Amino acid sequence: MIALKVLTNVKRIMVFTMAILSIIACKKTDSNWDDVKDPHDVGQNGHLRQAKTFSSDVAIKWLNMELEMMRVPLAAGARSQGADRVLAYNGIALYHSILPGMPSYKTLSGQLIAFPAMPSAEPGKPYHWAASANAAMAFINRKLFPNASDANKAAMDALENSLQAIYASEVDDATLQRSIAFGREVANRVDVWSTTDGSANVNPAYIPPVGPGLWVPTAPTPPVNPYASQIRLLVPGVSAGTDPQPLPTYSTNPASDFYKMVKDVYDKSLVLTDEQKAMAFYHRDAPGYPGGGHFVAVLSQVLTQSKATLDVAALACVKTGIGYHEAVTLCFTKKYQVNLVRPVTYIKDVMGFTSWATLIPTPNHPEFPSAHATNAGAVAVMLTSVFGHDFGFTLDTYQYLGFPARNYSSFADMAKEMSDSRVFGGIHYQPSCDKGLIMGAKVGQNVLNKVKFR
């Protein structure tokens, strides 16, 4: 699997490299991996002006708006959910709102689970694809953030109107209104579909099982995402072959592999470098953009730095959204199946270091596998499929919190750092992160194998 080369950075630990090489060995080529590397390679028989002739400005501005909705601290009730649904449904709505202007690309209808037919553009009629994208993203974001603060609701209105005013100066009114209507209808159908995904299920309060080696809640707040298994996946067969290899069998014996795995976290916590601490703080996401909002920021910054056109932005957003959604759902399903104890509980209760504290707060959900690692692995595969293996970029996501920008030589580099940051933070075992990273890569690869974007 060529896509999995995203995880074979030679600078990384040997065990991780060997695991990835064994995955790659099972398949030499991927039929659609190289196909998507040049999204500009489209035909000329589309709707007059193609999406590739527009900038990605509209997508970037709406991504930044989503970040404002997800920022913490913020007004009570302003954030309604994690980034998995936000990224997925925004990406799908954006992609389909300009798809007729991307004549070599395929509809997702018939490919995603229960995804409805999308509206058709009027043959031979011109469209302003940025206006269509603006209308779609404005519509879907209002639906995804129903509890947004009044200030954020007003900001969404202002953004939609300001962009629409610009587009009104670029095209005749009939074309503008046609484009707006098309984008809104696409988003409306995506929204109706999204409401049946299981996220609105009413479930009883989750009561964790009790027993040796099982997770003990680390905060008085409700457990995070315990009913992930009820969420509808987007891609048929996306979970195939993604189940991570188990960790060592639970034991309190100091000679056991499990004890040694936990002690590794403790030992590392005593000798953390300034750089390792910086990694842990940067990727903790709270305060900041919890629930995966950091990947919204990654998309915005990568699109800006690459000077992507609108078609590339749509492809990056839809791939990242789908891959991230599937990774989150599968990861949390696995977490609550295994229900493994967190390092802080074991270190205090078993090892006896009662005054030990993690560098960053431990999230209130089970330990295995690491969500940061799984999600980063999937996102890295998806972004690499659009921008290539050696795309270097800079993230200044948390400049507003005073954190300096971080530089990466590739999306694999970013994913590995995000993964390792959880060990340095004291909240995950190293094998949970390594196995999560591999799991996420497999999820991303399955999406690329099963969904044909063109």
* Residue 429 within any structural domain of the chain: yes
Q: Residue 25: what pLDDT?
A: 36
Same domain, 187 and 253: no
Q: Residue 7: what pLDDT?
A: 44
* Residue 204 within any structural domain of the chain: no
* Residue 346 within any structural domain of the chain: yes
The tally of domains found in the chain comes to 2
* Residue 203 within any structural domain of the chain: no
* Residue 155 within any structural domain of the chain: yes
- The per-residue DSSP string of 82-142 comes to -HHHHHHHHHHHHHHHHGGG-TT---STTTSTTPPPPPPPPTT----HHHHHHHHHHHHHH
Same domain, 387 and 330: yes
Same domain, 57 and 113: yes
Same domain, 349 and 423: yes
Q: Quick check: 192 and 116 in contact, CB under 8 A?
A: yes
Q: In whole angstroms, give the CA distance from residue 94 to residue 97.
A: 5
Q: Residue 287: what pLDDT?
A: 85
Same domain, 166 and 284: no
* Residue 313 within any structural domain of the chain: yes
211 dihedral zone (left: phi>0; alpha: psi -120 to 50; beta): left
List the domain range (segments joined by +) for residue 110. Answer: 51-194
Same domain, 262 and 357: yes
Same domain, 11 and 86: no
Q: In whole angstroms, give the CA distance from residue 43 to residue 31.
A: 20
Same domain, 420 and 281: yes
Q: Which of 225, 199, 203, 73 is nearest to 143 (CA)?
A: 199
- Residue where a domain terminates, one of 127, 161, 194: 194
Same domain, 19 and 91: no
- Residue where a domain terminates, one of 163, 194, 225: 194
Same domain, 324 and 433: yes
Q: In whole angstroms, give the CA distance from residue 33 to residue 35.
A: 5
Separation of CA 120 from chain center: 29
Same domain, 81 and 27: no
CATH number at residue 371: 1.10.606.20
Q: Quick check: 230 and 201 in contact, CB under 8 A?
A: yes
Low-confidence ranges of the chain (pLDDT < 70): 1-47, 72-81
* Residue 199 within any structural domain of the chain: no
Handedness of CA 213, 417, 399, 395 (dihedral sign): negative
- Residue where a domain terminates, one of 150, 167, 194: 194
* Residue 262 within any structural domain of the chain: yes
Q: Residue 290: what pLDDT?
A: 81
Structure tokens given for 376: 């980063």
Q: Residue 19: what pLDDT?
A: 43
Q: Residue 147: what pLDDT?
A: 86
Q: Residue 44: what pLDDT?
A: 35
Same domain, 254 and 396: yes
